[in-house]
Structure 1
Amino acid sequence: MNKFSRLLTLLVLLSPLQVMSEDTQNQSENSNHAEQPQFGGPDSPQGQFEEAHRPKSPAFRFPILDSAFSDWKPFKAKLDDEYGLKFGGHYSTMYQTNGDDNGWGGNFRLNLQWTVIGKDTATPGYFSLLVDNRHALGRNGAPGTFGKFGQYGVTATQFGDFDGNFKIITMAWNQRIDKDTGYIIGSYDPNDYLSVQGYVNPQTTFSNVNILLETSQALPDTAWGIAAGHWFNDSVYVQGGVTDANGYGGDGNVFFEGGAEFFKWVHLGWSPTKGDRYYKNLHIAAWHTDEREDYGQEAVWGVSSAINWTFNDVFMPFAKVGFSEGDHDFFNNTATFGILYKVMSRSDFIGIATNYGRFANGHKNGLGGESQISSELFYNFQVSQHFAVTPSIQYIDNPLMSDVPENAETIFGVRARVDF
């Protein structure tokens, strides 16, 4: 049986969906809302703690796997209670192939949060540290390399290669001023806050960066800066920030090496309640990047809008559109549409989405007027409390970085993750 057949068989075997009563799911989600970040998205350091602590109903029970964590959780809870120290992480691996090429990579992540002041109050101050070791496995490189399989973008987000090194993704001070207002200062990833929707977690949902992020933006990365947010009431909030326009996650946290060149952003959102921000949200965002002299990029700006809405605690359709003016590394016009379906009798969910991206006419990268469509289907199968497997299929129409004149690429993948 070839690789395509094995992966297709796995997708079919994992696809049956079941539904249970809304009451059970409501109780589960309500328990999550208390731990939701004040402003960050699901992939922010605080969002990852929320995901790790979320009650799960796996398809199977593996006493050996689950019992391995029986003493671990009380130990972590004791550290949090006595010292305000939270920590966790995961090891995940992803394999992708299009039949001619393949990539296999791993991601070892450590997540630390130390509440220094105001523990168990409405105004805590805490230090957050997120460290990744992203590495290739095998001889054909990591699947998260930009342009691999011909797509303009990344088909396996967070599965690049740091050459065996640990890199700091977040190192910042977080402060709540009151129950409605907070800020972060230090080295952080603006993509954890700007234009974020409730499905954006490359470790549990989609893997394609064009679907996960708003790729009409001159995508910022981990960099030194500051951001703040404020809830005007229980529904309307605003966020904004400034970071080093030249920073990225693999630069060793170099401090403004390119000088005073900034990425600035603002995000205005609405949800029925604060606790619904992941599940029911409408927002608009605007951004501007200064001219990056050493990089040879002109000043660019853009706007975007997005909505996601959960119906009956089962279906979450989402959509977003974006526009940018000026030449930068990503698209000038984008549109993304998709849906998530929760398997309510288990902690499984299935997702499907499509992204359209187009460069403006005359773009300096030689792709002016060209467009690309990226689609992905995945099934996140929660095998046990701490172990999940996610098979996926991606279809790239008109892959703009293909070495051969291909009209399309089909990419099969599987991701496995153990959290601790």
Structure 2
Amino acid sequence: MLGSKQRYMGYPLIVLLAILGFRVSAETNFGSPNTVENTIKENKRSKQSWRELLEKDHQFTFGLDYQVLGLSASSPTQGGEDKAAGGVVRLYGAWDLIGLESVNRGGLVWKIEHRHGYTDSSPKEFSFIDPGLGYIGMIGSAYSDQGGRLTNLYWKQKFNEGNTAIIAGYLDTSDYVDTYALASPWTGFTNLAFSTGAGAIGLPDDGVLGVAVGHMLNESLYIIAGVADAKGRSDKPSDGFNTLFNDHKFFSSFELGWTASQDQIYTDNVHMTVWHIDGETQHNLTQTEDAHGINFSASFFATPRFMPFIRAGFSEGDVALYDKSLTIGLGYFGLLSENNNLGFAINFSEVNDNLAKAYGAADKKQFTSELYYNMTIGEFIQLTPNIQYIDNPAISTEENTWVLGLRARFFL
């Protein structure tokens, strides 16, 4: 569908060559809303002077939050659980160490987490991994019972007056692959169909050794590419050197995009992303087959607060949840209060053929919708009620189900 494996692996080289070329005047933020730096910026909306002074005097900043997600389904599959809940504690930070007098700064970024379930099935397993909804998808994919994990520990370096950025180390590929403003599972949609990849990208674990490069070609066009360890595990980071250098199984991606605003590249944005993941990893259903695909995303502010978007993905292989996925939706920023946001989206998906055969799905087509409202209460609390309707869950005994959810975030 997208060409040979060698074609994918050549993209990072294209980006490295491009670094030697074009320069533009504005510093660019290539990270998604879920990166450490952007999360800390959101935390600073309350103007906590101690954090600002720490960053000003020592170029060091950090954040701490605890998140809880609870889900309840009206019609689980026969014999399945109708409730799931889990929590995540995260400590994250950034420390600029070189180039402090310019925009070409370099420094360390880190994030450590502990993910735990409160119920027999955590939210991540609730859809179909454990008996639950019978829905081929994931709701609250970050809320597992994995335990302690290393998500980020990388060096970030900017060049070319901030127009080129390189990160290398333990990284989360969803921080730079197919991002948009509402992709974060911590503050945006809870269903993976409305997040990174629209369910049609076979991502590795979100804490693996890798390198990624972003570069502005001119005032609006950019490219982002990366290569990461496809067999790495965030709960066993010390094993990453063995899997990366001995197994040679990679996840690679390349994105070409256009943005109207270099300050926040993931809002007014149109991009195309191609990806490839080697076979014989823990993510492959058959353990042998390579997988690849292509994704499209477009979002823009029709008004200063109203952002419609459309996202689509097509994949081949046995890693992604969906062979085909189409999402349309909207975000409304500043609804009722400056820091409150609303999101609504619908998704049409066709379940991965390998998954459908493995789970005995008679009909591969699913319809999903989600409505959420993220509201900030005081300086340190966010609450996000959400409601989802799932029609024709692929392996359920029921024709449809409603899922009510409540997410709480407590942050410093």
Question: Which residue identity lines up with residue 152 of structure 1 in the other structure?
Answer: I
- Alpha-carbon offset, residue 400 of structure 1: 2.7
Q: Which residue of 1 aligns with 2:154?
A: 172
Please give the root-mean-square deviation of Cα atoms over the aligned residues, in Å: 2.3
Q: Any idea what the Cα deviations from partners look like across 1:173-192, whole Å, max 9, x if unmatched?
A: 11112221110001111111
- Alpha-carbon offset, residue 367 of structure 1: 4.4
Is this contact kept in 1: 2:321–2:352, CA < 8 A?
A: no
- Alpha-carbon offset, residue 368 of structure 1: 8.1
The 3 A distance-change label for structure 1 pair 312 and 259 is same
- Matches of 2:164 and 2:371 in 1, distance apart? 37
After TM superposition, where is structure 1 displaced by more than 6 Å over at least 4 residues in a row?
A: none
Q: Which residue of 2 aligns with 1:262?
A: 250
User: Which secondary structure does the structure 1 equivalent of 2:152 belong to?
Assistant: strand
1:378 aligned to 2:372?
yes
The 3 A distance-change label for structure 1 pair 410 and 253 is farther
Q: Any idea what the Cα deviations from partners look like across 1:30-81, whole Å, max 9, x if unmatched?
A: xxxxx997211001112212222236xxxxxxxxxxxxxx9xx333223222
- Alpha-carbon offset, residue 323 of structure 1: 0.9
Q: Which residue of 2 aligns with 1:78?
A: 53
User: Which secondary structure does the structure 2 equivalent of 1:282 belong to?
Assistant: strand
User: Which secondary structure does the structure 2 equivalent of 1:191 belong to?
Assistant: helix
Matches within 5 A, 1:359-374: 359=351, 361=353, 365=358, 366-367=360-361, 370-374=364-368
Q: Which residue of 2 aligns with 1:247?
A: 232
TM-score scaled to structure 2, two decimals?
Answer: 0.82
Matches within 5 A, 1:24-103: 38-54=29-45, 73-99=48-74, 101-103=82-84
Question: Which residue identity lines up with residue 369 of structure 2 in the other structure?
Answer: S
User: Which secondary structure does the structure 1 equivalent of 2:298 belong to?
Assistant: strand
Is this contact kept in 2: 1:360–1:369, CA < 8 A?
A: no
Is this contact kept in 1: 2:203–2:251, CA < 8 A?
A: no
- Matches of 2:142 and 2:354 in 1, distance apart? 31
Which ranges in structure 2 are unaligned for 5 or more consecutive residues?
Answer: 1-25, 75-80
The 3 A distance-change label for structure 1 pair 267 and 406 is same
- Matches of 1:51 and 1:362 in 2, distance apart? 40
Q: Any idea what the Cα deviations from partners look like across 1:11-36, whole Å, max 9, x if unmatched?
A: xxxxxxxxxxxxxxxxxxxxxxxx99
The 3 A distance-change label for structure 1 pair 410 and 248 is farther
Q: 1:390 aligns with which of 366, 384, 391?
A: 384
Q: Which residue of 1 aligns with 2:263?
A: 275
The 3 A distance-change label for structure 1 pair 245 and 316 is same
Question: Which residue identity lines up with residue 242 of structure 1 in the other structure?
Answer: V
User: Which secondary structure does the structure 2 equivalent of 1:133 belong to?
Assistant: strand
Question: Which residue identity lines up with residue 90 of structure 2 in the other structure?
Answer: R
Question: Which residue identity lines up with residue 65 of structure 2 in the other structure?
Answer: H
- Alpha-carbon offset, residue 369 of structure 1: 6.3
User: Which secondary structure does the structure 2 equivalent of 1:202 belong to?
Assistant: coil
- Alpha-carbon offset, residue 385 of structure 1: 2.4
TM-score scaled to structure 1, two decimals?
Answer: 0.81
Q: Which residue of 2 aligns with 1:153?
A: 137
How many pairs align?
365
